[in-house]
Each structure stands twice: as C-alpha cells, then as structure tokens.
Structure 1
Amino acid sequence: MTFKTRRSLLALPLALPFALALPRAFAHGEQHGKAAGPVVKEQKPWGIAGEPARARRTVDIRMSDDMKMVPNHLEVREGETLRIRAINAGNVLHEIVIGTGDELRAHAEMMKKFPKMEHDEPYMAHVAAGQQGEIVWTFNRPGNFEFACLIAGHFEAGMRGTIRVTPKA
C-alpha cells in the first residue's frame, strides 16, 4: 500500500458523511416531508416552532394549481401557537414556507437555480398532490410576515399570502 493510497483511505471516513448528504441536499421533489426525530427550535424573526399541544386554533390553507392560496391573509396574536394545515387541491407539488418578504424572495431565487433542492424546516410544509401537511408555529414576535410556495415559478405566479401578528397589549 502506498502512502497516497493510505492517505485516501484515512480521508474516507471524513468524506463519507458529506457524500451521503449531497443527494438529500439537492433533491427537491415528492420525497418532502417532516424528518423523523425532534423538531429543531430556532428563533426566527417571525417566531419559533410550536408545540402541537399548545395550538388552540387551526387554519386550513388551500393550495391549487391556479397558483392561489386561500385564504391569503392570516391575523395572529403575538404569542399564539397556530396549526396551519396546508391542503394541496392541485395536481402538482406545492409548499408553504413562512418568513419575511426578503427571506422568501431570496429563497425563491435560490429555488430557480436549484429546483430539486430539498429542505425541511419546521416553518415549511411540502405537500404532494391531493395530500395535506401542517406547520405548528408560535408567532412570538409582532410584525408583518408572509407565506408562499417557493417551488420554481409558483412564487412568481403569485402563490403567496401575508401574516399580520398583532402585539399582545
């Protein structure tokens, strides 16, 4: 065994996790869904992942192939944990992603460049045709936020809505 071969074999355990992660990182399609395991709770400007047991209200958002989301506006009270049930009434994959307008626009641009990219965050629901998914989110920051389908072309076609989070007092 040469030094070069030995060095390559030693590097294999370090490179293997990255190589195995590549197909998942760049595959956006019917395999979307919540990963098994605990939800990572990361504070975002629009809130944090919520506990399902704390959701006192459920809002159904219907997504269709005419690139509409109904309703396209939500009113939420600061501190409220909301269950958003995303219902795909269309024949193609749709998704709902919550965020700021700037973040959603940037993500939509990235989706144009990498349309098969897979992502799975607690503020996203990816829903196959005829199926439904959900987001449980605690809106712990007041402000104006948005939700949208960021699949290439859907955002640009107007598949989005707004969320107004009013202060507690």
Structure 2
Amino acid sequence: MTLIQLTAAALIATAGAALADGGHAHADDWEIGRPGDAHHVTRTIEVDMLEPEAGGMAFSPAELQIAQGETVRFVITNRGALDHEMVFDTMEANMEHMQVMMKHPDMHHSDPNAITLAPGESGELIWTFSQPGTFQFACLIPGHMEAGMQGPLTVN
C-alpha cells in the first residue's frame, strides 16, 4: 500500500469508530447524572447483594436517598452464591436493558453506572447525581430483579 492508501484507510477506520457508538448516551447526557470523581466523594454507601435463606434476592439497603449534586462512592459486596450486578438508571432504561439481558444473559457491563460481581467479590461505583428524580437500582441478570433484587433511588 502507498502512503496515501494507508492514510485513507486510517481515516476511514477512525470515522467508523467515531460513528459506531451513535446510539448510546454519553455519561454527561444520562438522566441520573454522570460518573463521579473520587476526589469529590461526599458520602460512601455500602451495599450488599443478598440471597436470603427465606428465598428471593435483595439489596441491602433496599432503597437509596441521595441529595442532588452529591458524589457517592458505592462499595458493593456480593454476599450470595450467584453472580449479581448493580445497575442504576431510569426505570424505563433498566426495563429495556433487562430485555437485552434476557437475550444475552452472560453479558457483563463496562458502563460506569453498573458493576457485575461474582460471589464473594466487592467493587466500587462512584457517581455524581446531578438530576433530581426517582430512579432505580437493580440486578438485571434474568430472574434476579423479579426475585426482588431492585429498589428505588431517590435524588432530592
């Protein structure tokens, strides 16, 4: 290939990559806020992923209250025997995402508003909640939300 052909190929590849994510919102466009900066954390909330002996699945705490503008570090621990995830978003977005998960149950997330943890694992999410409203946190692995693994996330 000549230098001109290589340059043209590189430009085409770059343009394709830039357009490939056209249907996804960027973090700053999300209704629930944006990824947070660890240097600006105002509060840490510990969240446990549970499979109670009585049955079902749950998060503890079961609901979250956040102040608008707050940057929260979530320290999440999977205390169950199954893989679990925590995704926070609008209820509508979580329902759409759950439909995708039903078709691709082994899908793992790389979005900054989601984490997937194996049994015994812990991880962190840091998020700045810039918009008021009632949102949802949930495990979207098929069957988990239906078993009780979801709760309201209210930003005042």
State the superposition RMSD in angstroms. 1.8
What is the CA deviation profile of residues 1-50 of structure 1, one whole-angstrom value per residue up to 9, with x for unaligned ones? xxxxxxxxx9xxx7xxx9xxxxxxxxxxxxxxxxxxxxx74330011000
Query: Does residue 1:101 correspond to 2:87, yes or no?
Result: no
Q: Tell me, yes or no, if structure 1 residue 153 matches structure 2 residue 143.
A: yes
- Does the residue aligned with 1:84 lie in a helix, a strand or coil? strand
Whether the 8 Å CA contact 2:27–2:33 is kept in 1: the answer is no
Measured against aligned partners, the alpha-carbon deviations of 1:124-154 in whole angstroms (never above 9, x if no partner) come to 0111110111110000000001100011110
1:48 paired residue number: 34
Structure 2 stretches of 5 or more lacking a match? 1-8, 18-25
- Mapped contact 2:108–2:116 kept (Cα < 8 A): no
TM-score by length of 2: 0.78
- Number of residue equivalences: 130
2:110 maps to which residue? Answer: 120
TM (norm. structure 1) is: 0.72
* Runs of 4 or more consecutive aligned structure 1 residues displaced over 4 Å after TM superposition: none
Q: Which runs of 5+ in 1 are unaligned?
A: 1-9, 19-39
Structure-2 residue corresponding to 1:133: 123
Deviation at 1:101, TM superposition (A): 0.6
The one-letter amino acid of 1:74's match is L
* 1:77-132 C-alpha deviation (Å, 9 max, x unpaired): 11000011111001111110000111111111110111122321000011111011
